[in-house]
Amino acid sequence: MIYRSLLSALIALIGIGCAKQSAMRLTNDMVRVNVSTAPIYGALEPERRAMVLAAKETMENGYDKFLIVDGASDYKPNVLGHTPGQAHGYINDQGGRIYATGPSTIAMPRFETAITVKMFKSGDPNGHNAIDAAEILKSS
């Protein structure tokens, strides 16, 4: 019974915290993209999702290409709290026994990627090295 409850709680936590992403417009032609995923997806998944979101933002804002001008990826432990230690025991005619569990950490680790992109229209000479947003969306 306890194991079923713990398994249900674990599945609920995994489902809640799988992936989060956001995009914030910085200027008319610049966007900052933030993606955070659970470790089950691996370290490269937030980077892949960031590229796709940057491509979507580029197209939705009327541009065709984008260039990553700043970016960072990191692993965050994100400690949510700690459970206290516990001890209990008994003594009877045959002796006694003590059970103890130490404190434990409750964590929801995340892989995070943040990139800032500058967007360009096709034909803009400043964007000759920029990534084609439509190609990224096609391959995702």
- pLDDT-based confidence at residue 12 (cuts at 50, 70, 90): very low
- DSSP H/E element including 73: strand 65-76
What is the CB neighbour count within 10 angstroms for residue 46?
27
pLDDT at 2 over 80: no
State both tokens at 136. 């990224």
Rounded mean pLDDT of the chain?
A: 86
Report pLDDT for 5.
Answer: 53
Hey, where are the domains in the chain? 18-139
Closest CA to 25 of 103, 123, 118: 118
Q: Does 19 have pLDDT greater than 60?
A: yes
Model pLDDT for residues 40-56, shown as the tens digit of each residue: 888 899 999 999 999 99
At residue 11, does pLDDT exceed 90? Answer: no
What sign results for the dihedral spanned by CA atoms 81, 50, 115, 73?
A: positive
Q: Give pTM, 2 decimals.
A: 0.71
Distance CA 24, CA 57 (A): 9
3-class SS at 120?
strand
Read off the pLDDT band of 96 (50, 70, 90).
confident
At CB < 8 A and 24+ separation, what contacts does 17-24 make?
17/108, 17/110, 19/45, 19/46, 19/49, 21/49, 21/50, 21/53, 23/53, 23/54, 23/57
Residue 82 — pLDDT band, cuts 50, 70, 90? confident
